[in-house]
Amino acid sequence: MSVQGIIIATVIVGGVGLLIGIFLSIFGNIFRVEVDEREAAIEEALPGNNCGGCGFPGCSGLAAAIVKGEAPVNGCPVGGAPVAEKVAEIMGVTADASEKLVAFVKCHGDCEATTNKYEYTGVEDCRMIAAAPSSGPKSCEFGCTGFGSCVKACKFDAIHVVNGIAVVDKEKCTACGQCVAICPKHIIELIPYKAKFAVACSSKDKGPDVMKKCKAGCIGCSLCVKNCPKEAVEVNDFLAHIDQEKCVGCSLCSQKCPRKIIPRL
């Protein structure tokens, strides 16, 4: 190729590149999405666990929602009050005090309290075993299967299977909600960290049936209801439940429970 041909080719390529650059710049300005600087600052302030406990797809999703006004500044259950204060400062608002929550397993049916109807051999996953006959081998179909799907879901090492049932370490729990979401029996709930008592049972069987299946199951006797001075306990579907907003921690429900399934937390 001659020198003149090389020069012409170079000019053409350079010209085409220049035109493409101009067009990209124009279209980039036309279709540019404005990003609020606060969004990046909030994401930086968040713990970065991306656990989804806030109800949004990761920390970036929560940051975007806070900036848009679709989520509160204290929307991160992992970060708690310290993170809420940082986010509130970025947003120029005051962080409302949010009550710390922890997960609680509503079951006391460990290996001593309940029995198995059959020997299970298969995948050790609570969601899989929930589809097995009678919702698993344990006598109580409402109780914890003890195969630890919640343990695998927890990123904070706050829940473990002890003697056949899941137990939460409230000091490690961040209330991210992953264990609540993954439990096929729906026996894990979030309760206030300061809660003094809770009913460790999820059975909706009638009393005589419960007594046949589990030594630590609620029989719906209502003694807890009758002895609560604050009307904080009620029985529905043969199962007691404590209204934590009314409970003052007097312990009378726990003392009077004949099945000893209202433990001090």
CATH number at residue 50: 1.10.15.40
What pLDDT, on a 0 to 100 scale, did the predictor assign at position 235? 96
Indicate whether 263 belongs to any domain: no
For residues 60 and 114, state if they share a domain: no
Q: Are residues 114 and 192 in the same domain?
A: yes
Task: Please give the residue range of the domain that contains residue 62.
Answer: 37-91
Indicate the average pLDDT of the chain: 87
For 243-252, write each residue's pLDDT tens digit. Answer: 999 999 999 9
Work out how many domains the chain is built from and give that number.
3
Q: What percent of the chain has pLDDT over 90?
A: 49
Provide φ and ψ at 189, rounded to 5°: -130, 160
Which pLDDT does position 22 carry in this prediction? 74
- Domain closes at, from 47, 64, 91: 91
Residues 109 and 227 in one domain: yes
Residue ending a domain, among 45, 69, 91, is 91
* Same structural domain, 43 and 139: no
Do 231 and 218 belong to one domain?
Answer: yes
Among 65, 67, 74, smallest CA distance to 96 is for 74
Do 83 and 136 fall into the same domain? no
Residue identified by tokens 């666990």 is 49
- Domain check: are 176 and 248 in the same one? yes
- Please say whether the beta carbons of 160 and 151 come within 8 A: yes
Tokens of 84: 């809420």
Do 26 and 42 share a structural domain? no
| pTM of the shown model | 0.74
pLDDT in tens, the chain (265 residues): 566 666 666 667 666 667 776 766 665 555 555 567 888 898 899 988 888 778 788 898 888 888 888 888 888 888 878 888 898 888 888 777 667 889 999 999 999 999 888 888 878 889 888 777 777 888 999 999 999 999 999 988 999 999 999 999 999 998 888 999 999 999 999 999 999 999 999 999 999 999 999 999 999 999 999 999 999 999 999 999 999 999 999 999 999 999 999 999 9
Instruction: Tell me: do 145 and 195 sit in the same domain.
Output: yes
Domain-located, residue 261: no
3-state SS, one letter per residue, for the chain: CCHHHHHHHHHHHHHHHHHHHHHHHHHHHHCCCCCCHHHHHHHHHCCCCCCCCCCCCHHHHHHHHHHHCCCCCCCCCCCHHHHHHHHHHHHCCCCCCCCCEEEEECCCCCCCCECECCCCCCCCCHHHHCCCHHHCCECCCCCCCCCCHHHHHCCCCCEEEECCEEEECCCCCCCCCHHHHHCCCCCEEEEECCCCECCCCCCCCCHHHHHHHECCCCCCCCHHHHHCCCCCEEEECCEEEECCCCCCCCCHHHHHCCCCCCCEC
Residues 71 and 11 in one domain: no
Q: What phi and psi, each to the nearest 5 degrees, are found at residue 166?
A: -75, 140
Q: How far is CA 23 from CA 26, 28, 133, 193, in A?
A: 5, 8, 65, 58
- Both tokens of 164, joined, read 């056949």
Q: Give the amino acid at 114.
A: T
Nearest-angstrom CA–CA distance, 93 and 84: 10
Residue 240 lies in a domain: yes
Q: Does 188 lie in the same domain as 211? A: yes
Please indicate, yes or no, whether residues 120 and 245 belong to a single structural domain of this protein.
yes
Confirm if 202 and 187 have CB atoms less than 8 A apart: yes
- What is the rounded CA–CA span in Å between residue 181 and residue 175? 11
Residue 265 in any domain: the answer is no
Predicted confidence at residue 223, as pLDDT, reads 97
Residue 235 lies in a domain: yes
